[in-house]
Chains A and B, each alone.
Chain A
Protein backbone atom coordinates (compact mmCIF):
# COMPACT_ATOMS: atom_id res chain seq x y z
CA UNK A 1 0.00 0.00 0.00
CA UNK A 2 1.11 3.56 -0.69
CA UNK A 3 2.21 5.65 2.26
CA UNK A 4 -0.78 7.56 3.65
CA UNK A 5 -1.24 11.21 2.72
CA UNK A 6 -2.29 12.00 6.25
CA UNK A 7 -1.22 9.91 9.22
CA UNK A 8 -2.41 10.87 12.68
CA UNK A 9 -1.28 8.60 15.47
CA UNK A 10 -2.64 8.65 19.01
CA UNK A 11 -3.11 12.41 19.01
CA UNK A 12 -4.41 14.31 21.97
CA UNK A 13 -4.80 18.06 21.97
CA UNK A 14 -5.51 19.96 25.10
CA UNK A 15 -6.22 23.68 25.34
CA UNK A 16 -5.85 24.63 29.00
CA UNK A 17 -8.52 22.48 30.66
CA UNK A 18 -10.37 21.52 27.50
CA UNK A 19 -9.39 18.34 25.75
CA UNK A 20 -10.36 18.96 22.12
CA UNK A 21 -9.11 15.71 20.62
CA UNK A 22 -8.49 12.43 22.46
CA UNK A 23 -6.27 9.56 21.29
CA UNK A 24 -7.13 10.22 17.69
CA UNK A 25 -5.65 7.95 15.05
CA UNK A 26 -6.55 8.19 11.39
CA UNK A 27 -4.97 7.51 8.04
CA UNK A 28 -5.94 8.93 4.69
CA UNK A 29 -4.84 6.97 1.62
CA UNK A 30 -3.81 8.77 -1.57
CA UNK A 31 -6.63 9.32 -4.05
CA UNK A 32 -9.41 9.05 -1.51
CA UNK A 33 -11.98 11.55 -0.43
CA UNK A 34 -12.16 11.48 3.35
CA UNK A 35 -15.19 13.05 5.01
CA UNK A 36 -14.85 13.89 8.69
CA UNK A 37 -18.21 14.38 10.30
CA UNK A 38 -19.09 15.41 13.80
CA UNK A 39 -21.34 17.73 15.74
CA UNK A 40 -20.24 21.22 16.71
CA UNK A 41 -17.30 21.10 19.09
CA UNK A 42 -16.46 17.48 18.21
CA UNK A 43 -12.87 18.45 17.35
CA UNK A 44 -13.01 18.63 13.54
CA UNK A 45 -11.37 22.02 13.21
CA UNK A 46 -8.73 21.18 15.82
CA UNK A 47 -7.86 18.04 13.84
CA UNK A 48 -7.52 20.05 10.63
CA UNK A 49 -5.48 22.76 12.30
CA UNK A 50 -3.01 20.17 13.60
CA UNK A 51 -2.65 18.84 10.07
CA UNK A 52 -1.79 22.34 8.92
CA UNK A 53 0.78 22.75 11.67
CA UNK A 54 -0.99 25.68 13.33
CA UNK A 55 -0.11 24.06 16.66
CA UNK A 56 1.48 20.79 17.74
CA UNK A 57 -0.56 18.03 19.36
CA UNK A 58 -0.16 17.73 23.12
CA UNK A 59 0.60 14.04 22.63
CA UNK A 60 0.99 11.84 19.57
CA UNK A 61 2.20 12.55 16.04
CA UNK A 62 0.79 14.07 12.87
CA UNK A 63 2.27 13.58 9.43
CA UNK A 64 1.06 15.10 6.18
CA UNK A 65 2.57 13.91 2.88
CA UNK A 66 5.13 12.09 5.02
CA UNK A 67 6.30 15.36 6.56
CA UNK A 68 5.96 17.05 9.93
CA UNK A 69 3.45 19.92 9.63
CA UNK A 70 5.45 22.14 11.98
CA UNK A 71 9.07 21.43 11.02
CA UNK A 72 8.29 21.16 7.28
CA UNK A 73 5.47 23.70 7.20
CA UNK A 74 6.62 25.51 4.05
CA UNK A 75 7.24 22.32 2.07
CA UNK A 76 3.79 21.02 2.98
CA UNK A 77 1.97 24.27 2.22
CA UNK A 78 3.34 24.24 -1.33
CA UNK A 79 1.67 20.90 -1.93
CA UNK A 80 -1.66 21.32 -0.19
CA UNK A 81 -4.65 23.61 -0.61
CA UNK A 82 -6.72 24.72 2.33
CA UNK A 83 -10.00 26.52 2.78
CA UNK A 84 -10.73 27.53 6.35
CA UNK A 85 -14.17 27.59 7.84
CA UNK A 86 -14.26 31.39 7.94
CA UNK A 87 -12.59 31.88 4.55
CA UNK A 88 -10.39 34.75 5.76
CA UNK A 89 -8.95 36.92 2.98
CA UNK A 90 -7.61 40.47 2.67
CA UNK A 91 -10.82 42.44 2.53
CA UNK A 92 -9.36 45.46 0.74
CA UNK A 93 -8.07 43.50 -2.25
CA UNK A 94 -10.07 42.96 -5.40
CA UNK A 95 -10.61 39.47 -6.77
CA UNK A 96 -7.88 39.78 -9.38
CA UNK A 97 -5.50 41.38 -6.89
CA UNK A 98 -5.81 38.52 -4.43
CA UNK A 99 -5.38 35.95 -7.19
CA UNK A 100 -2.17 37.73 -8.23
CA UNK A 101 -1.07 37.99 -4.60
CA UNK A 102 -1.61 34.32 -3.77
CA UNK A 103 0.04 33.23 -7.03
CA UNK A 104 3.34 34.78 -5.86
CA UNK A 105 3.68 32.14 -3.15
CA UNK A 106 3.61 29.21 -5.52
CA UNK A 107 6.25 28.29 -8.10
CA UNK A 108 3.71 26.18 -9.95
CA UNK A 109 0.54 28.16 -10.47
CA UNK A 110 -1.83 27.12 -13.20
CA UNK A 111 -3.03 30.36 -14.81
CA UNK A 112 -5.20 28.58 -17.35
CA UNK A 113 -6.99 26.58 -14.64
CA UNK A 114 -7.52 29.67 -12.51
CA UNK A 115 -8.90 31.60 -15.46
CA UNK A 116 -11.26 28.77 -16.23
CA UNK A 117 -12.43 28.49 -12.62
CA UNK A 118 -12.88 32.23 -12.39
CA UNK A 119 -15.08 32.13 -15.46
CA UNK A 120 -17.01 29.00 -14.49
CA UNK A 121 -17.75 30.30 -11.02
CA UNK A 122 -18.48 33.82 -12.32
CA UNK A 123 -16.09 35.66 -10.03
CA UNK A 124 -16.08 39.44 -10.71
CA UNK A 125 -12.43 40.47 -11.23
CA UNK A 126 -12.70 44.08 -10.13
CA UNK A 127 -14.87 43.75 -7.04
CA UNK A 128 -13.29 44.18 -3.62
CA UNK A 129 -13.50 41.15 -1.35
CA UNK A 130 -15.37 43.08 1.34
CA UNK A 131 -18.19 43.63 -1.17
CA UNK A 132 -18.54 39.98 -2.17
CA UNK A 133 -21.49 37.89 -1.08
CA UNK A 134 -20.84 34.96 1.22
CA UNK A 135 -21.28 32.49 -1.64
CA UNK A 136 -18.89 34.32 -3.95
CA UNK A 137 -16.31 34.53 -1.16
CA UNK A 138 -16.56 30.78 -0.66
CA UNK A 139 -16.00 30.17 -4.36
CA UNK A 140 -13.04 32.55 -4.41
CA UNK A 141 -11.50 30.84 -1.38
CA UNK A 142 -11.81 27.51 -3.16
CA UNK A 143 -10.20 28.90 -6.31
CA UNK A 144 -7.27 30.28 -4.30
CA UNK A 145 -6.77 26.87 -2.72
CA UNK A 146 -6.79 25.09 -6.07
CA UNK A 147 -4.63 27.35 -8.27
CA UNK A 148 -1.38 25.53 -7.53
CA UNK A 149 -3.02 22.14 -8.21
CA UNK A 150 -2.44 20.73 -4.74
CA UNK A 151 -1.96 17.01 -4.13
CA UNK A 152 -4.12 17.33 -1.05
CA UNK A 153 -7.06 19.67 -0.61
CA UNK A 154 -8.26 20.30 2.92
CA UNK A 155 -11.66 21.89 3.36
CA UNK A 156 -13.08 22.85 6.72
CA UNK A 157 -16.87 22.96 6.42
CA UNK A 158 -16.78 23.95 2.73
CA UNK A 159 -20.51 24.47 2.48
CA UNK A 160 -21.58 25.74 5.86
CA UNK A 161 -23.81 28.77 5.65
CA UNK A 162 -24.11 28.64 1.87
CA UNK A 163 -27.22 28.48 -0.25
CA UNK A 164 -27.97 25.34 -2.27
CA UNK A 165 -26.84 26.88 -5.57
CA UNK A 166 -23.39 27.74 -4.30
CA UNK A 167 -23.11 24.43 -2.47
CA UNK A 168 -23.79 22.68 -5.73
CA UNK A 169 -21.13 24.71 -7.58
CA UNK A 170 -18.56 24.00 -4.89
CA UNK A 171 -19.39 20.32 -4.93
CA UNK A 172 -18.99 20.26 -8.71
CA UNK A 173 -15.55 21.84 -8.50
CA UNK A 174 -14.46 19.38 -5.84
CA UNK A 175 -15.68 16.50 -7.99
CA UNK A 176 -13.79 17.88 -10.99
CA UNK A 177 -10.71 17.95 -8.83
CA UNK A 178 -11.01 14.35 -7.72
CA UNK A 179 -11.48 13.27 -11.31
CA UNK A 180 -7.80 14.05 -11.67
CA UNK A 181 -5.65 11.07 -10.87
CA UNK A 182 -4.19 10.81 -7.41
CA UNK A 183 -5.76 13.87 -5.81
CA UNK A 184 -6.76 13.51 -2.21
CA UNK A 185 -9.44 15.52 -0.48
CA UNK A 186 -10.00 15.78 3.24
CA UNK A 187 -13.08 17.69 4.32
CA UNK A 188 -15.16 18.20 7.39
CA UNK A 189 -18.86 18.71 7.18
CA UNK A 190 -22.13 18.24 8.88
CA UNK A 191 -24.12 18.16 5.68
CA UNK A 192 -24.38 14.45 5.60
CA UNK A 193 -26.00 13.90 2.24
CA UNK A 194 -23.12 15.81 0.73
CA UNK A 195 -20.64 13.57 2.50
CA UNK A 196 -22.59 10.58 1.27
CA UNK A 197 -22.27 11.82 -2.31
CA UNK A 198 -18.56 12.45 -2.38
CA UNK A 199 -16.74 10.62 0.39
CA UNK A 200 -15.04 7.23 -0.08
CA UNK A 201 -14.12 7.05 3.54
CA UNK A 202 -15.90 8.47 6.56
CA UNK A 203 -14.75 9.30 10.06
CA UNK A 204 -17.27 10.13 12.77
CA UNK A 205 -15.92 12.33 15.51
CA UNK A 206 -17.69 12.89 18.82
CA UNK A 207 -16.29 14.78 21.78
CA UNK A 208 -12.76 14.48 20.46
CA UNK A 209 -12.89 10.75 19.84
CA UNK A 210 -13.16 8.96 16.54
CA UNK A 211 -16.21 6.70 16.89
CA UNK A 212 -15.93 5.22 13.45
CA UNK A 213 -13.42 5.25 10.65
CA UNK A 214 -14.08 3.11 7.59
CA UNK A 215 -14.96 3.09 3.90
CA UNK A 216 -18.46 4.43 3.36
CA UNK A 217 -19.60 1.26 1.58
CA UNK A 218 -18.46 -0.92 4.45
CA UNK A 219 -20.18 1.35 6.94
CA UNK A 220 -23.43 1.05 5.00
CA UNK A 221 -23.12 -2.72 4.67
CA UNK A 222 -22.61 -3.29 8.36
CA UNK A 223 -25.02 -0.88 9.96
CA UNK A 224 -28.59 -1.79 9.24
CA UNK A 225 -31.97 -1.26 10.75
CA UNK A 226 -34.19 -4.28 11.19
CA UNK A 227 -37.88 -3.51 11.40
CA UNK A 228 -40.00 -6.28 12.87
CA UNK A 229 -43.77 -6.44 13.22
CA UNK A 230 -45.95 -8.85 15.17
CA UNK A 231 -49.67 -9.38 15.04
CA UNK A 232 -49.93 -8.96 18.78
CA UNK A 233 -47.86 -7.42 21.53
CA UNK A 234 -44.12 -7.17 21.11
CA UNK A 235 -42.42 -10.16 22.77
CA UNK A 236 -39.42 -9.90 25.04
CA UNK A 237 -36.40 -9.21 22.85
CA UNK A 238 -33.72 -8.78 25.46
CA UNK A 239 -32.06 -12.10 24.68
CA UNK A 240 -31.37 -11.19 21.06
CA UNK A 241 -27.71 -10.82 20.20
CA UNK A 242 -25.92 -8.20 18.14
CA UNK A 243 -29.00 -6.09 17.81
CA UNK A 244 -30.02 -3.16 19.90
CA UNK A 245 -33.61 -2.06 20.33
CA UNK A 246 -33.99 1.39 18.85
CA UNK A 247 -37.64 2.09 19.32
CA UNK A 248 -40.94 0.34 19.50
CA UNK A 249 -44.50 1.41 19.00
CA UNK A 250 -47.63 -0.71 18.97
CA UNK A 251 -46.79 -3.95 17.22
CA UNK A 252 -43.62 -2.79 15.62
CA UNK A 253 -40.09 -2.56 16.87
CA UNK A 254 -36.94 -1.50 15.15
CA UNK A 255 -33.46 -2.69 15.94
CA UNK A 256 -30.04 -1.49 14.99
CA UNK A 257 -27.17 -3.80 14.24
CA UNK A 258 -23.54 -2.81 14.01
CA UNK A 259 -22.51 -5.85 12.06
CA UNK A 260 -25.20 -7.14 9.75
CA UNK A 261 -25.31 -10.62 8.28
CA UNK A 262 -28.25 -12.74 7.11
CA UNK A 263 -27.59 -15.09 10.05
CA UNK A 264 -28.69 -12.39 12.43
CA UNK A 265 -32.23 -12.69 11.12
CA UNK A 266 -32.71 -16.32 12.12
CA UNK A 267 -32.91 -15.37 15.79
CA UNK A 268 -36.12 -13.48 15.12
CA UNK A 269 -37.91 -16.57 13.79
CA UNK A 270 -38.64 -18.04 17.22
CA UNK A 271 -40.46 -14.81 18.09
CA UNK A 272 -42.96 -15.46 15.28
CA UNK A 273 -43.05 -12.04 13.66
CA UNK A 274 -45.37 -11.25 10.75
CA UNK A 275 -42.68 -9.35 8.94
CA UNK A 276 -38.97 -8.72 9.21
CA UNK A 277 -37.45 -6.06 7.04
CA UNK A 278 -33.86 -5.05 6.73
CA UNK A 279 -33.34 -1.43 5.88
CA UNK A 280 -30.29 0.44 4.74
CA UNK A 281 -29.45 3.47 6.81
CA UNK A 282 -28.50 6.84 5.48
CA UNK A 283 -25.28 8.35 6.75
CA UNK A 284 -27.42 10.77 8.69
CA UNK A 285 -29.12 7.92 10.57
CA UNK A 286 -25.79 6.23 11.19
CA UNK A 287 -24.30 9.46 12.46
CA UNK A 288 -27.17 10.24 14.81
CA UNK A 289 -27.30 6.72 16.28
CA UNK A 290 -23.55 6.53 16.86
CA UNK A 291 -23.30 9.94 18.44
CA UNK A 292 -26.33 9.39 20.67
CA UNK A 293 -25.03 6.00 21.77
CA UNK A 294 -21.61 7.47 22.55
CA UNK A 295 -23.14 10.27 24.58
CA UNK A 296 -25.32 7.80 26.51
CA UNK A 297 -22.26 5.75 27.39
CA UNK A 298 -20.53 8.81 28.81
CA UNK A 299 -23.43 10.07 30.90
Chain B
Protein backbone atom coordinates (compact mmCIF):
# COMPACT_ATOMS: atom_id res chain seq x y z
CA UNK B 1 0.00 0.00 0.00
CA UNK B 2 1.48 3.32 -1.04
CA UNK B 3 0.26 6.40 0.72
CA UNK B 4 1.15 9.95 -0.23
CA UNK B 5 0.95 12.63 2.38
CA UNK B 6 1.40 16.35 2.06
CA UNK B 7 2.23 18.04 5.36
CA UNK B 8 1.73 21.50 3.92
CA UNK B 9 -1.84 21.14 2.68
CA UNK B 10 -3.34 21.86 6.09
CA UNK B 11 -5.28 18.64 6.63
CA UNK B 12 -3.85 16.89 9.70
CA UNK B 13 -1.55 14.04 8.66
CA UNK B 14 -3.47 11.38 10.59
CA UNK B 15 -6.60 12.37 8.67
CA UNK B 16 -4.75 12.16 5.37
CA UNK B 17 -3.73 8.61 6.29
CA UNK B 18 -7.30 7.67 7.28
CA UNK B 19 -8.70 9.09 4.05
CA UNK B 20 -6.20 7.30 1.89
CA UNK B 21 -6.60 3.94 3.61
CA UNK B 22 -10.34 4.29 3.04
CA UNK B 23 -9.80 5.19 -0.62
CA UNK B 24 -7.50 2.20 -1.08
CA UNK B 25 -10.14 -0.07 0.40
CA UNK B 26 -12.96 1.51 -1.61
CA UNK B 27 -10.88 1.18 -4.76
CA UNK B 28 -10.05 -2.47 -4.08
CA UNK B 29 -6.31 -1.78 -3.91
CA UNK B 30 -6.35 -3.15 -0.40
CA UNK B 31 -8.81 -6.00 0.08
CA UNK B 32 -10.82 -7.28 3.03
CA UNK B 33 -8.74 -9.48 5.30
CA UNK B 34 -5.50 -8.07 3.96
CA UNK B 35 -2.86 -6.98 6.43
CA UNK B 36 -1.87 -3.32 6.62
CA UNK B 37 1.73 -2.30 7.24
CA UNK B 38 2.64 -2.02 10.92
CA UNK B 39 2.68 1.40 12.59
CA UNK B 40 6.46 1.23 12.60
CA UNK B 41 6.73 0.37 8.91
CA UNK B 42 4.27 3.01 7.79
CA UNK B 43 5.88 5.68 10.00
CA UNK B 44 9.27 4.96 8.45
CA UNK B 45 7.84 4.81 4.96
CA UNK B 46 6.03 8.14 5.28
CA UNK B 47 8.66 9.70 7.54
CA UNK B 48 6.10 10.78 10.09
CA UNK B 49 5.80 10.40 13.82
CA UNK B 50 4.67 6.84 14.70
CA UNK B 51 2.10 8.31 17.10
CA UNK B 52 0.42 9.91 14.09
CA UNK B 53 0.12 6.57 12.31
CA UNK B 54 -1.07 4.90 15.51
CA UNK B 55 -3.72 7.58 15.86
CA UNK B 56 -4.94 6.99 12.30
CA UNK B 57 -5.12 3.23 12.89
CA UNK B 58 -6.99 3.68 16.16
CA UNK B 59 -9.54 5.87 14.43
CA UNK B 60 -9.89 3.39 11.54
CA UNK B 61 -10.43 0.67 14.09
CA UNK B 62 -13.02 2.71 15.94
CA UNK B 63 -14.87 3.12 12.65
CA UNK B 64 -14.50 -0.64 12.14
CA UNK B 65 -12.65 -0.19 8.85
CA UNK B 66 -9.78 -2.26 10.19
CA UNK B 67 -9.37 -4.72 13.02
CA UNK B 68 -6.30 -5.24 15.13
CA UNK B 69 -5.44 -8.80 16.05
CA UNK B 70 -3.26 -8.82 19.09
CA UNK B 71 0.32 -9.65 18.24
CA UNK B 72 -0.48 -10.09 14.56
CA UNK B 73 -1.15 -6.62 13.29
CA UNK B 74 -3.79 -4.60 11.61
CA UNK B 75 -6.16 -6.07 9.00
CA UNK B 76 -8.83 -4.68 6.71
CA UNK B 77 -12.22 -5.66 8.14
CA UNK B 78 -13.99 -8.58 6.41
CA UNK B 79 -17.41 -7.12 7.02
CA UNK B 80 -18.37 -4.04 5.08
CA UNK B 81 -17.45 -0.81 6.78
CA UNK B 82 -20.12 0.36 9.17
CA UNK B 83 -20.35 4.11 9.16
CA UNK B 84 -23.68 5.73 9.88
CA UNK B 85 -25.30 6.75 6.63
CA UNK B 86 -25.79 10.31 7.85
CA UNK B 87 -22.11 10.47 8.63
CA UNK B 88 -21.22 9.16 5.16
CA UNK B 89 -23.45 11.73 3.51
CA UNK B 90 -21.88 14.48 5.55
CA UNK B 91 -18.34 13.50 4.58
CA UNK B 92 -19.13 13.14 0.91
CA UNK B 93 -21.21 16.35 0.74
CA UNK B 94 -18.34 18.34 2.14
CA UNK B 95 -16.09 16.97 -0.59
CA UNK B 96 -18.69 17.68 -3.27
CA UNK B 97 -19.05 21.23 -2.03
CA UNK B 98 -15.35 21.75 -2.40
CA UNK B 99 -15.41 20.51 -5.97
CA UNK B 100 -18.44 22.54 -6.84
CA UNK B 101 -16.99 25.71 -5.38
CA UNK B 102 -13.86 25.21 -7.44
CA UNK B 103 -15.95 24.61 -10.54
CA UNK B 104 -17.96 27.76 -9.81
CA UNK B 105 -14.84 29.87 -9.42
CA UNK B 106 -13.41 28.40 -12.61
CA UNK B 107 -16.63 29.25 -14.45
CA UNK B 108 -17.08 25.66 -15.51
CA UNK B 109 -20.71 25.36 -16.72
CA UNK B 110 -22.91 23.26 -14.42
CA UNK B 111 -23.81 20.94 -17.33
CA UNK B 112 -20.13 20.13 -17.77
CA UNK B 113 -19.82 19.43 -14.06
CA UNK B 114 -22.71 17.03 -14.30
CA UNK B 115 -21.26 15.20 -17.31
CA UNK B 116 -17.90 15.05 -15.60
CA UNK B 117 -19.49 13.58 -12.49
CA UNK B 118 -21.19 10.86 -14.54
CA UNK B 119 -17.95 10.07 -16.30
CA UNK B 120 -15.93 9.81 -13.10
CA UNK B 121 -18.61 7.72 -11.49
CA UNK B 122 -18.64 5.32 -14.43
CA UNK B 123 -14.87 4.96 -14.44
CA UNK B 124 -14.65 4.31 -10.71
CA UNK B 125 -17.52 1.81 -10.89
CA UNK B 126 -15.70 -0.11 -13.59
CA UNK B 127 -12.52 -0.12 -11.55
CA UNK B 128 -14.19 -1.34 -8.38
CA UNK B 129 -15.93 -4.16 -10.25
CA UNK B 130 -12.83 -5.54 -11.91
Which residues of A are at the interface with B, using a C-beta cutoff of 8 A?
33, 168, 171-172, 175-176, 178-179, 192-194, 196-200, 216-217, 220, 275, 277, 279-285
Contact = CB atoms under 8 A, between A and B. Distances in A.
B22 to A, nearest CB: 18
Interface of B: 7-14, 40, 43-44, 46-51, 55, 97-98, 101, 104
Chain B interface secondary structure, helix, strand, loop or mixed? helix
A197 B10 contact: no
Given A197-B7, A280-B10, A179 B40 contact: yes
B40 A171 contact: no
Contacts of A193: 7-8
B53 to A, nearest CB: 10
Chain A interface secondary structure, helix, strand, loop or mixed? helix
Given A171-B47, A277-B101, A282-B7, A196 B40 contact: no
Given A193-B7, A197-B7, A220 B50 contact: no
Contact of A279 (B8, B10, B43, B104): B10
A282 B8 contact: yes
A279 B9 CA distance: 10
A149 to B, nearest CB: 18
A198 B49 contact: yes
A172 B44 CA distance: 7
Given A171-B47, A192-B8, 17 more contacts: A33-B51, A172-B47, A175-B44, A175-B47, A175-B48, A175-B50, A179-B40, A179-B43, A194-B7, A197-B46, A197-B47, A197-B48, A220-B12, A275-B101, A277-B101, A282-B7, A284-B8
B7 A196 contact: yes
The 5 lowest CB-CB distance pairs between A and B, nearest first, are A280-B10, A193-B7, A196-B7, A282-B10, A197-B48
Contacts of B48: 175, 197-198
Contacts of B43: 175, 179
Given A172-B47, A175-B47, A197-B47, A285 B40 contact: no
Contacts of B40: 179
